[in-house]
Amino acid sequence: MITAIYPGSFDPITNGHIDVAQRASRLFSKLIIGVYDTPYKHLLFTIKERVEMARQAVAHLSNVKVQPFNGLAVNFAKKVKAQVMVRGLRVSADFEREFDMAMMNRKLNPELELICLIAKPKYQFLSSSLLKEVARLGGDIDDLVPKHVIQALSKKEGTSKM
Ligand code: ADP
């Protein structure tokens, strides 16, 4: 039985993240989406909101759970007894970043394996930050995030789109 974590900021969760979670849920007995409490970047949503949006987004996947975490992802993996960390790769810049992080994580926890899933072409350009920008400017994000995330963005940003 293999447990995997899928850590990230998920500010907010997008269809690209959900696709990775769905594909990973078929590979492992249990997948825990770890929502990082305090990433070193500007956040739109609180930890509670990010966790709640992620929970709703993967409610249909019975072996996928969502938990907030603080501190190092490798320590979160130890805490939930995960053997694998899942990350998504969109473009080559993601690879560079993931490679550096993987080297550091291996030093911190050599037992933890990293599995990277390549994003589907339709989500390759999709990032939470770009999504927030488009939503703020009133662009169409209907096929990029679930309905409840569109509603949360509208509420936050005061945009009229529902
Ligand atoms: P982080 O702050 O850790 O990068 P993100 O929430 O931005 O957190 O992303 C979490 C993980 O999901 C990362 O591995 C990222 O590369 C991946 N990811 C982000 N967007 C997509 C997407 N559209 N398709 C596939 N993977 C994605």
> What DSSP string runs through the chain?
--EEEEEE--TT--HHHHHHHHHHHHHSSEEEEEEESS-SS--SS-HHHHHHHHHHHTTT-TTEEEEEE-S-HHHHHHHTT-SEEEEEE-SHHHHHHHHHHHHHHHHH-TTPEEEEEEPPGGGTT--HHHHHHHHHTT---TTTS-HHHHHHHHHHHT-S--
Q: Is 148 a catalytic residue?
A: no
From 5, 6, 13, 17, the mutation candidate for ligand 1 (largest count of ligand atoms within 8 A of CB) is 17
In order of start, what are the domains of the chain with their CATH numbers?
Answer: 3-121 (3.40.50.620)
The string of pLDDT tens digits covering residues 45-67 is 999 999 999 999 999 999 999 99
Ligand 1 centre from 124 Cα, in Å? 10
Among candidate residues 135, 159, 158, 138, the one with its CA nearest the CA of residue 14? 135
Does the beta carbon of 94 lie inside 6 Å of ligand 1? yes
pTM above 0.85, yes or no: yes
Instruction: Give yes or no for residue 162 having a pLDDT over 80.
Output: no
The string of pLDDT tens digits covering residues 63-100 is 999 999 999 999 999 999 999 999 999 998 999 999 99
Other beta carbons within 10 Å of 25: 20
